[in-house]
Each structure stands twice: as C-alpha cells, then as structure tokens.
Amino acid sequence: MITDAAPIVTARIGNPQSWTLQSYLDNGGYDGVRKALTMDPSEVQQEVLTANLLGRGGAGFEAGKKWGMLAKGETKYLVINGDESEPCTFKDHMLLEEDPHQIIEGTLICAYAIGASQAFIFVRGEFALGLERLSSAVNEAYAFGAIGRNILGSGFSIDLVVHPGAGAYICGEETALLESLEGKRGYPRDKPPWFPAVKGLYSAPTIVNNVETMSNLPWIVTNGGAAFAALGIGRSTGTRLFSVSGHVKRPANYEIEMAKHTFRDLIFDPKLGGGIRNDNQLKAFVPGGVSAPWFGPDQIDMALDQDAVGKAGSMLGSGSVIAMDDTTCMVRAAWRITRFFHRESCGQCTPCREGGGWLDKIMRRIELGQGRESDLDLLLDVCDNIAPGLGWPPQKTTICVLGPSIPSSITSGIKMFRDEFLVHIKDGRCPFA
Amino acid sequence: MPRLTAENLQRARQLIALYPQPRSALIPILHIVQEQDGWLTPDGMAHAGELLDIDPAEVYGTASFYDMFFTHPVGRHLVSVCTNLACLLNGADELLEHAEARLGVAPGGTTADGQFTLEEVECIAFCGAAPCLAVNWRFFGNIGNEDFDRLVDDLAAGRLADDVPPHGTLNRVRRRVGLSAAAPAPAEDTDAPAQARPS
Ligand SMILES: Cc1cc2nc3c(=O)[nH]c(=O)nc-3n(C[C@H](O)[C@H](O)[C@H](O)COP(=O)(O)O)c2cc1C
Ligand code: SF4
Ligand code: FES
C-alpha cells in the first residue's frame, strides 16, 4: 500500500508550464525563501537538522550536519550537484527540466543558511533542455529580485551561476566536480585530509549538495523540519524520488514516503512500477544505481530504508531501482555495467584503471563464448585486488569510490547466478543469445 | 582562422566575469567554440587559451577529458544511442545495430554527407523511455527501428530544425542578468571572420 503522504519535490510537476516563474509563484513559489530570510541563518540550519534531511546524491549524509562542518571564512561557496550520471538514475534530470525554480529557491535558502558568497549549479552538460530551463529561470528569478543584490529586500545578496558540464561521469563525485568547475580535468581529489567543507572550490570552504536535496528545502522551511521528520521512519525522513526502470511496465520517477514502502511496492504496485513486463518473473534487481550490489526476489520485501539496505550489503545510493526479468542474461548485464566503469574511470588509480580494464576483458570473453574455466576465480581475484575482502561498503584502495564500486555487479552475478556464468563457459556461447 | 566572432567574444568575456577565477569559464567557453564551429578547432581552442591566459596544451588537456568535446569535425547531427543497463534491457543493442545499418557507419563514424555522426553512449538519464537516444543532446525516447528511420528522415529534411539545433549548440538561453559590464572587444578581435561550419 502506498501511503498518502503528499509529494514534496514533485508537487508542481504536471502543472502547465511548471518551469516558468509565473507557474511557480501561482503555486507558493519563493514563499520558503521569503520565510527563511526573516529567520536567523542558524534557525534555518536548525530546521534542516530537525528535518534530518539526508543528502539525495548517493551517500545519504545529513545535510544539516554537513552545513555545520563548514569551516569559517570570509569566502564560502555553495555548489549544487546536478551532474546526474549514475546509470539508470533520471530524477534530477526531471527536476531540472520541470521545476528549476524549486532548485533555485532551495539553493538560495541553503546559501543564506551557510552564508555563501556565491552559488553554482553544476548541470550535466548533456542536459540541454535542463540547462535552458534553468538558465531561463535564473533570468526570471533575477528580474523578480530573488537573486542578486539585497534579495527580496532582505539585505542578503547572492549570485547564482549555472555551469554546464561537458560529459564525464566522474564529475558527479564532488571533488572531481570542483576540479571541473575550476576549468580542469575532472580528477577526484584525495580526501582526507581536505574535505570540501574545509577546502573546496578555489581552496575555500564549500558545501556540495545534490539537486534533489535542495529541492526539499522550500517545503522544509515553509512547513517546518518537524513536519518533514514526521514523514518516513527513524533516520529516513521525508519523501524520496526513486527512478524505476528496466523490465517494469511503468518505468518512471516516483516520489514516495521514505522507509514506509518496500522494493515490492516500487516494482509491482499498480500506481508505481506496475509489475514486470509480459508478466514475466523477476530475476534480480539493482537497489540503488549500478554501483550497488544486486538483490534477488527473496529480498523484495525489504523496506526502502537507507540503513536497512545498507545492513543487507547494498545501498539505496542514487535512488535508482532497475528490475531484470527472467529473460535477462546476467553475464551481459554485469558486463555492461563493468564496461561503463572501465570507460568512466578517470585513470588516476591503478586498481580502478587497470582492474576495470581486466574485468571488462574477462567479462567480454565469457559473454562471447570464449570464457575459460579459471575465469570465475580470476574475476573474483581481480575484484579482490580492487576492493580487498569484497565487503560492503568496500574497503578504500583508491582516491574515490568509483574504483571499489566496480566489482559490485560481478560479485553479485557470480554469487547469485554462478551456474549461468558456468554455462556460458561450458557451452562456449551465451544461452540467451 | 575560426577564432571567436565578435559576438561570441563578448559572450566569452561575460562568462569570465561571472566566476571568481577566470579559468572556471574554460569549459563554458569551449562550448561556445563548439557551438560556433561544430567542433573544437585548434584556433578556437587557442583563442580560448588566450582569453584565459593559459597554454594551448592546457586547453587541449582539459578538453580531451570530456566526452562532449570533439577535437575533430563531426556531423551536423550527433546521434547518441544509449546502451547502458535500462536501455540494454529494452533492446538498445538491436537499436544500435539498426542505426549502424541505416546510417551506414559504425559508432564513431560520420556519414559521407556530413549529416550524421553515430556514437554509442552511457546512460543519458532518460531511462524511463528506454531505449532512447539523443540528437545534439535533444532526447528521443521509446525508439523502435521505424521511429529511428522517421527521425533520421525528419532530421535530414530539416523538419526538426527548431527542436534540434546544429551540433555544438547546447544552451540557447543567454544570461541576461547580473553581468558586469564586460569590456567591448578590442579592434583586432572584432574583425575575426565568422567561419562557415563544416557541413
Ligand atoms: C563516482 C561518483 C559519482 C557521483 N555522482 C553523483 C551525481 O551524479 N550527483 C550527485 O548529486 N552526487 C553524486 N555523487 C555523490 C557526490 O560525491 C556527493 O556526495 C553529493 O553530491 C553530495 O550531495 P548530497 O549530500 O546532497 O547527496 C557521486 C559520487 C561518486 C563517488
Ligand atoms: S577510483 Fe577510479 S575514478 Fe576514482 S580517482 Fe581513482 S581512477 Fe579515478
Ligand atoms: S540506461 Fe539508457 S538512458 Fe539510462
């Protein structure tokens, strides 16, 4: 059963011209930031702490807590992550196109709360329409007086720049994003010692938050952090936007109350995923973006709760759930994910750069019927070199967590579908081809 | 030599002024170069470097990291077929195969008339409409073989010109607000001829 919690971040989507200032204002737009500007910045931070808003970009860190870690300094920056490139995640893309003013309003609230000198919204370069809608919205918001000098008569001034990326998955990682925003190659920075909150953009203290995280702020300020925390269960508060794709009948983004629903709801509820196409059997699903280890049908009743999924050895990650039915070749699926990581590795760390290449090569030959009997051991050995112990969350051997995420699909595949891998090798062909 | 036109030079200067440090404008300026010329011409990159006072090798080194930048000419229509997981599960490999046959080029290739460049790409965050593709980063979803053929015909005939600007044009909305009065372009820059794009 879907709870009847009203949507927060998608409330205006579907309104005619939902991306325009007029439509936004007609539906309560910019009321949140107006209210925030009458409060003390520390009170705004307190509301977000009370809300226990978890970051929606993948790591799920408490937004209010992160803001509290921001180092003191004359110059502080706010950078919004709209790079959304985790495969099969398509929620921020929708928010950018359908409700850009909500992102701007959230960004303004955050900028005020942390005392930012300037804000940047980094938009994945491929999102042409999103860039155009957001840029128009910035022009409108400026003319309206919500951005610029003395916004909405409050005495607070802030500029906001829409910055286009240029095509690189790794730039979603926050320190690679900052490098890219500085006009460089998107190489993640080693951290510790310096986290962005201490040393970020141009070495100044910087907060990086996701587009969906920002989109929750107007509602939180308007309705209060306690109202947000009343939704969901425990630490998983509010609502969350899930991207459901693959072999479901109704692939789309769905905003539902946190933790009160299960993967079964998401995949099978007639109002959500609607079940598996052709009424086939569900074979496996990816619970949180392709970096996440897979789950099988026996885990379908698990709650969409960040901590529960973490304890079960995977993650809700970017909020993308991918269903695979019984016609799916799991070797091919795992190979495609591996190929993605190999292609997107920035190349700084040997385990990621070389390991990804080896895994891609071995997976390729198994799928194409040239696998060897020793290949499964070899795969696991290479995986173990990248992420020693093959636990979850993976052990850190590299600068960022892209590398240690590479083994997820392969170790899941071998654990859950060992026989299918072996048939590929024994028969010298893909049984699904 | 295709340096930035006077108008684009003005845009570049305005971009530089938006950032606390000029180099942050490099990628946005490279998008302007690619919009003007269809790809990153050596002279366009050199001009970007001059504006930011960085070495051409630095410009190239940055540009070459990013998939959207082309340091060689590509077609007027960049057809980017996604084959990542959600699309794979919904027939993307078959779609890509069909696209290769229809356009007569392998991924990375450009048709002889310069109309189309085909590429295989990672997830374009349009998975709700898998299998899908982008043309010059305008998105088209639920693409079967016939849809693909119709799309190619429409593009070739110019019927989608409003929705799909030529390759390189990313954001058609100019920032109109909060711009510091960017200095007018000096004379030697203003008469740089606008280069016709390769077609
Ligand atoms: C390889 C990699 C890719 C990432 N991609 C994204 C992304 O596309 N969007 C995003 O918001 N966060 C992404 N992240 C997470 C960011 O590093 C960062 O945690 C996040 O933007 C913080 O925002 P939040 O606290 O609001 O979630 C990625 C992380 C890694 C390691
Ligand atoms: S783990 Fe991979 S992507 Fe991350 S910094 Fe190292 S090489 Fe680059
Ligand atoms: S997997 Fe193709 S658009 Fe996401």
All domains of chain B, ordered by start, with CATH?
1-72+167-199 (1.10.10.1590), 77-156 (3.40.30.10)
Name the nearest CA neighbour of B27 among B10, B45, B3. B45
Residues of chain A with CATH 3.10.20.600: 232-325
Give the range among A56-60, A77-81, A364-368 with minimum mean pLDDT: A56-60
What is the average pLDDT score of chain B?
A: 91
Residues of chain A with CATH 3.40.50.11540: 21-225
Once rounded to an integer, what is the mean pLDDT over residues A158-170?
A: 97
Is the per-residue pLDDT at B62 higher than 70? yes
Question: Can you give the pLDDT at residue B1?
Answer: 53
CB contact under 8 A, A185 and B134: no
Question: Can you give the pLDDT at residue B178?
Answer: 81
Rounded to whole angstroms, the Cα distance separating A203 from A201 reads 5
CB contact under 8 A, A186 and B66: yes
Question: Can you give the pLDDT at residue A114?
Answer: 98
B150 in contact with A, Cβ within 8 Å: no
- CB of A420 within 6 A of ligand 1: the answer is no
B171 in contact with A, Cβ within 8 Å: yes
Which of B65, B93, B124, B179 to mutate to test binding with chain A, by most A CBs within 10 Å of its CB? B65
- CB of B87 within 6 A of ligand 3: the answer is yes
Give the range among A247-261, A409-423, B23-37, B169-183 with minimum mean pLDDT: B169-183
Question: Can you give the pLDDT at residue A191?
Answer: 86
- Look at domain A21-225 and name its CATH class: alpha beta
Once rounded to an integer, what is the mean pLDDT over residues A222-245?
A: 96
Is the per-residue pLDDT at B192 higher than 80? no
Total-model pTM: 0.96
- CB of A88 within 6 A of ligand 3: the answer is yes
Question: Can you give the pLDDT at residue B188?
Answer: 40
Once rounded to an integer, what is the mean pLDDT over residues A230-239?
A: 95
| Interior angle at CA A87, CA A82 and CA A93, nearest 5 | 35
- CB of A165 within 6 A of ligand 1: the answer is no
Closest ligand by atom to B131 CA: 3
Residues of chain A with CATH 1.20.1440.230: 330-427
Give the CA radius of gyration of chain B: 18
Is the per-residue pLDDT at A203 higher than 70? yes
Question: Can you give the pLDDT at residue A1?
Answer: 72
Q: In chain A, whose CA is at the least distance from the CA of B30? A: A166
CB contact under 8 A, A166 and B138: no
Question: Can you give the pLDDT at residue B196?
Answer: 36
Question: Can you give the pLDDT at residue A342?
Answer: 98
Residues of B with Cβ-Cβ distance to A127 under 8 angstroms: 125, 137
From the CA of B125, how many Å to the nearest CA of chain A?
A: 4
CB contact under 8 A, A245 and B130: yes
Once rounded to an integer, what is the mean pLDDT over residues B3-17?
A: 95
Question: Can you give the pLDDT at residue B180?
Answer: 61
Once rounded to an integer, what is the mean pLDDT over residues A100-115?
A: 98
Once rounded to an integer, what is the mean pLDDT over residues A114-120?
A: 97
Q: Are A190 and A398 in contact (CB under 8 A)?
A: no
CATH topology of domain A232-325: Ubiquitin-like (UB roll) (3.10.20)
- CB of A59 within 6 A of ligand 1: the answer is yes
B140 in contact with A, Cβ within 8 Å: no
Rounded to whole angstroms, the Cα distance separating A200 from A77 reads 8
Name the more confident of A191 and A347.
Answer: A347
- CB of A401 within 6 A of ligand 1: the answer is yes
Once rounded to an integer, what is the mean pLDDT over residues A385-396?
A: 91
CATH 1.20.1440.230 fits A330-427, yes or no: yes
Once rounded to an integer, what is the mean pLDDT over residues B130-142?
A: 98
Is the per-residue pLDDT at B131 higher than 80? yes
User: Kind of pairing, strands A236-237 and A159-164?
Assistant: unpaired
Residues of B with Cβ-Cβ distance to A332 under 8 angstroms: 88
CB contact under 8 A, A182 and B61: no
HSE value, Cβ hemisphere, 13 Å, CA-based, for A292:
30
CB contact under 8 A, B177 and A180: no
Once rounded to an integer, what is the mean pLDDT over residues B150-170?
A: 97
